[in-house]
Amino acid sequence: MPPAVGGGPGRYAVSRLDAALERIQRCDERLCLRCNRVLRYRALPQVCRAISWLGNGVFWYALMLALLLSKSGAALPVLHMAGAGLACTLAYKVLKRSTLRPRPYQVHASIAQGASPLDTFSFPSGHTLHATAFSLVALAYYPSLMVLLAPFTLLTAASRVVLGLHYPSDVLAGAALGALIAAASFALV
């Protein structure tokens, strides 16, 4: 083991952690830039903006309304989705305010802003967080919705990176947190 830097035995571990985090950040930036290059193609930016706009809540509110209108006994699943959504919003706001990670287009001139963000900070992706939680809760009640919800959730996550609004790690963290919130919500129902 190399000698400790800065006078303490734990310093080596910290510098290794810093180096690992730096490598992850560089990888995150490269992936974001590659995904963002899709904006050069004429139709794709509009598709990504549309998916992102639907992921703002429009798709999920429409789904909840459709379930209430078409399925008897849908009140509990819809309330469950709404409760998970509320928990996601609270977690999202706390994390955004505590991490203060700037958006990729704000930091890197080579990353284009493909849409207007809903707020200032990047971490975690609220769109992905909500999409994951809503999908997992809805699928627990209505597994047949998988053919609709899985692609929409994946496209929502991808659109956020393509539009230069999030790093891939923001999206992964949003998905992980959304899954965690959905799983925890089942313990309460």
Residue 127 lies in a domain: yes
Per-residue pLDDT tens for 47-91?
A: 999 999 999 999 999 999 999 999 899 999 999 999 999 999 999
Instruction: Report yes or no on 142 lying in a domain.
Output: yes
Q: Is residue 3 part of a domain?
A: no
In a domain, residue 117? The reply is yes
Residue 144 lies in a domain: yes
pTM for the whole structure: 0.84
CATH number at residue 167: 1.20.144.10
- Distance of alpha carbon 146 from alpha carbon 125, whole angstroms: 22
Tokens of 135: 């999908």
User: For residue 6, is it within any domain?
Assistant: no
Position 2 in a domain: no
Domain span including residue 66: 11-188
Q: How many separate domains does the chain show? A: 1
Residue 4 lies in a domain: no
Average pLDDT for the chain:
88
